[in-house]
Structure 1
Amino acid sequence: MDGRFSLLGVLACPRCDRAPLEEAEGRHRCDACQIDFPSIDGIPWLFAEPAATLREWRSRADFTLQTLADEHRQLLATAKTGDVGDLTRQRLTAHADATRDHADRLAALLAPLKLEPLTARFESNLAFRTRLPSDQGLMTYAYNIHRDWSWGKEENEASFAIVREALAGASPGKTLVLGAGAGRLAYDVHMRTDAEVTVVHDFNPFLLLLARRITAGESIELYEFPIAPKSIREHAVLRKLAAEQPCRDGLHYVLADAHRPPFAKGSFDTVLTPWLIDILPERFGTLCKRVNALLADGGRWINFGSLSFHLGDPALRYTKEECAEIIAESGFDAPLFTETSMPYLCSPASRHGRQEQVLGWTAVKQRDVPKAPRHKALPDWIVLGKDPVPLLDSFHMAAASTRLRAYILSLIDGRRSLNDIVALFDQQKIMTHEEAENAIRGLLVKLYEASQRR
């Protein structure tokens, strides 16, 4: 541990914000909440509901391994059919072998999560949703690990160049990379600047378990499965993931939710948020307040990404000019913007890749602002289960749609034709003939296409 810095000194409870936490036997404890936060392979696990979140990530990890096992079986079964060519059979067999080997490698890497086999069938888990973002799975950023630690020198250099320009020769001091992903930018900042300390934060245990081992000097091999492989040999590529050299002292890892960053107020001189705005389902103004609270007076916020907002309300999909206004209202000076064109996920084994127009900014904290509201992932009527479930319009529509879908599926018995099912709708006056035909055919098309993708 860096002699000038103690990670424990900046950690705070993600439930009540109390700092400092107590540390004993590899765990952190908040006496106010009377709750213990475990460590996973030496990385503090500081989620507001640590046990529940650990169960969810274990479930996602188990589901990932089940998915790979199911894919292995399907690939082999397809390879054994008589209507595929020799080259196709070779490709499918090689892909199946790589998938099984990849699953074994992942299982070893994820061992610190102490996985337990799921008892539910594979199909049953397809409908399961956890409190973690459904679009941010364990392997969502699998391509990024290869970019970070294998073939992505040009992309990594472009990202670091944005940070270097933003620092303008100044020291980043105590630095937090919020939403660090596979950790390459944090490593570069720590190794190529005079950062006093760099704290690497993410909520995905796969990414940080991997990054921690690589930056400590280990070499790890995992498969890349390119989106659009350039040749039959590049359908599954075993990549060596490694850093140029082990990281110097002062690089620390923390697993936590960016909505509830577990750090004491004013702990950092620099906060980096690379590509974070694009994935957080939260109002931009709220994020600005959270970053403000993490920074010391005069601290620097460096952000870059595509500035893509996915919130449903069009009023919240801000432009650069609107962001500048909100940043200034959140206790920062006027942000300094940069525009950069850079490659993004351009794997040498894939025909898929793009140029990204990246917006960056640097903003300096000038004053404190009122604390951001405490994040709630779900409403109390779901979490506590005591209040009535509100009859939301979306629930009412979903119920009607589900009943209709279920009725159509109940009529599929292997004997009735599409016209037979439409005739039943006619007889029962559920829909007009044309409406029923369009609805039923549309559903069957979706189900059929899903079966072909499967």
Structure 2
Amino acid sequence: MHGPSSGVQVTITEPEHVTDHMTAADTLQDLLACPRCDAPLARAAEAWRCVGCDVDFPLVAGIPWLFAEPNAGLGEWRARLHFSLQKLERERQQLAEALAGKELRPATRARLERLGLATRDHGVRLRELLAPLALGQHSASYETYLALRTRLPPDQGLTTYYSNIHRDWCWGDAENDASFEALAPMLRAAPPKRVLVLGAGAGRLAYDTHRRTPAAITVALDFNPLLAIVADKVARGEIVELYEFPLAPRGDEAVLRQLRAPAPARAGLAFVLADAHRAPFRRGAFDTVVTPWLVDILPERFDLTCARVNALLADGGQWLNFGSLSFHDADPAARYGLEECRAALEESGFGEISVDERELPYLSSPASRHSRRERVVIWSARKARDVKKVPRYQALPEWLVRGNDPVPLGDSFRSQIAATRIHAFLMSMIDGRRSIKDMAKLVVEQRLMTPEEAEPALRSFFTKMYDDSRRGTTY
């Protein structure tokens, strides 16, 4: 396994006349508001406290944890961390099994041994890094977490954007510089004082924006504690060592990287852990809001996102967006194209809209054979007027959050119940003795399928299970 890989060196110009001291009006406390009731927040011992609803929001690794339900949020991320660590241990065991009692080529044995050591060490590093989540003692098995679906969702897991950490703080200088330069003309035309990077990810764009503009305060908001904790540490001048596991490795399958910033950030760069839908800030708190690779992955309609960004901006403030436009809403009407986005911006109180497109490298790791370029959309839009306040975002219905109301039995749930019962019946027939033909007869006897359908359907079902087991896929 190799040590750190040096990326392309980029000359970064520091802004002139930047001070390291913020005025009282530019401190984080003057920007924050409760994500539950919008009341101001006051700093308490190791927490922020809402003066309205008297809820404490803890600090996690020194970062404000400003989710609307802070304890539930901590529990959710602890469960995801626990599952992630169990998944790593499962992978390590599979590597050990592959090594045991087999005639292997020397190169294969060496690769598996390296991966096994790296996987074990990676779990230790993740546990130490995320110790502030107070993982505690969890006794649930890997299979239990799968059954309860307490697992890494495909669009918002603990390590979904793990590659971005290495791009932002190790080998991605060329990509990082290209990303900042895409926004630089708008930032130079209207130098910001109070910047919010909404969905900051691993934090490099927020760091570069703060370093290369005269902003008095730049707030990097993300909901992923792994990304935020790493970004906060390296921005303060620390070196964090984590493994990169390239999808298509050119050499070693696990590369231990040293993650570091070009220089410690000056005063005024702050990290916040919160939900972008309930950004915990006062109305009009910022003169610039940046949304990198965010607007098309949020689960609510783009029109609502526009209204929420409008509320965060002061009069005349600018919204800078950067990234793809690839909406995947269940409603086809909400899968907006660029012209529809422009119309939504205008309807949401924005004017002076400027749009650009350019092709940029994306996640081109020197350790991977995979590399691609993305055509990104960049726009700037200035807040021309306030718009009507939109309802507070609710990720889940009350019956699911509170647990006191009956679970509704709608058509969708009825279909899922029927499918689950069939799935459970098929799984229950696996006993190590029955063949597919034996099972097909039972399916027909239960009148679940016709004789013509049963065997092909079972063969397809078990082919999927077999393929998933070969890929190590369990969800």
1:142 corresponding residue in structure 2: 162
Separation in 2, partners of 1:431, 1:393? 21
2:307 corresponding residue in structure 1: 289
Q: 2:265 aligns with which of 241, 247, 253?
A: 247
1:3 aligns with 2:3: no
TM-score by length of 2: 0.92
Shift of 1:438: 2.1
Separation in 2, partners of 1:352, 1:120? 36
8 Å contact from structure 2 (residues 169, 261) kept in 1: yes
1:366 corresponding residue in structure 2: 384
Identity %: 56
Shift of 1:388: 3.0
SS of 1:352's equivalent in the other structure is coil
2:13 corresponding residue in structure 1: none
Q: 1:54 aligns with which of 60, 74, 79?
A: 74
CA deviation vs aligned residue, 1:360-388 (integer Å, no higher than 9, x gap):
10000011001121000111121233433
Counterparts in 2 of 1:440 and 1:11: CA distance versus 1, 3 Å: same
Separation in 1, partners of 2:172, 2:322? 18
Q: 2:200 aligns with which of 171, 176, 180?
A: 180
Give 1:1-40 correspondences, 5 Å limit: 2-4=21-23, 5-18=26-39, 20-40=40-60
CA deviation vs aligned residue, 1:135-161 (integer Å, no higher than 9, x gap):
311111110000000111111011101
8 Å contact from structure 2 (residues 42, 50) kept in 1: yes
CA deviation vs aligned residue, 1:42-77 (integer Å, no higher than 9, x gap):
111110000110111111112211211221121122
Q: 1:433 aligns with which of 430, 446, 451?
A: 451
Q: 2:347 aligns with which of 329, 333, 339?
A: 329
1:265 aligns with 2:294: no
TM-score by length of 1: 0.96
1:195 aligns with 2:208: no
1:102 corresponding residue in structure 2: 122
SS of 2:298's equivalent in the other structure is coil
SS of 1:247's equivalent in the other structure is coil
CA deviation vs aligned residue, 1:182-228 (integer Å, no higher than 9, x gap):
10001101111111210111001111111111010111111000000
SS of 1:259's equivalent in the other structure is helix
2:373 corresponding residue in structure 1: 355
1:416 corresponding residue in structure 2: 434
Answer 1 or 2: higher relative contact order, Cα 8 Å, separation at least 6. Answer: 2
1:78 corresponding residue in structure 2: 98
1:450 aligns with 2:468: yes
Separation in 1, partners of 2:222, 2:366? 27
SS of 2:276's equivalent in the other structure is coil
**Bigger shift: 140-149 or 444-453?**
444-453
Question: Which ranges of structure 1 fall in alignment gaps of 5 or more residues?
Answer: none
Counterparts in 2 of 1:12 and 1:109: CA distance versus 1, 3 Å: same
SS of 2:168's equivalent in the other structure is helix
**Bigger shift: 400-409 or 185-194?**
400-409
**Bigger shift: 208-217 or 2-11?**
2-11
CA deviation vs aligned residue, 1:49-108 (integer Å, no higher than 9, x gap):
001101111111122112112211211221223143221111011001011111111111
Question: Which ranges of structure 2 fall in alignment gaps of 5 or more residues?
Answer: 1-19
Shift of 1:439: 1.7
CA deviation vs aligned residue, 1:255-280 (integer Å, no higher than 9, x gap):
10001000000000100000011321
Shift of 1:127: 2.8
Separation in 1, partners of 2:123, 2:443? 47
Counterparts in 2 of 1:239 and 1:53: CA distance versus 1, 3 Å: same
Paired residues, what number? 451
8 Å contact from structure 2 (residues 27, 217) kept in 1: no
Separation in 1, partners of 2:151, 2:50? 23
2:421 corresponding residue in structure 1: 403
Separation in 2, partners of 1:132, 1:451? 18
SS of 1:252's equivalent in the other structure is strand
8 Å contact from structure 2 (residues 207, 235) kept in 1: yes
Counterparts in 2 of 1:295 and 1:323: CA distance versus 1, 3 Å: same
SS of 1:395's equivalent in the other structure is helix
1:305 corresponding residue in structure 2: 323
Q: Name the Cα RMSD after superposition.
A: 1.6
SS of 1:17's equivalent in the other structure is coil
SS of 2:101's equivalent in the other structure is coil
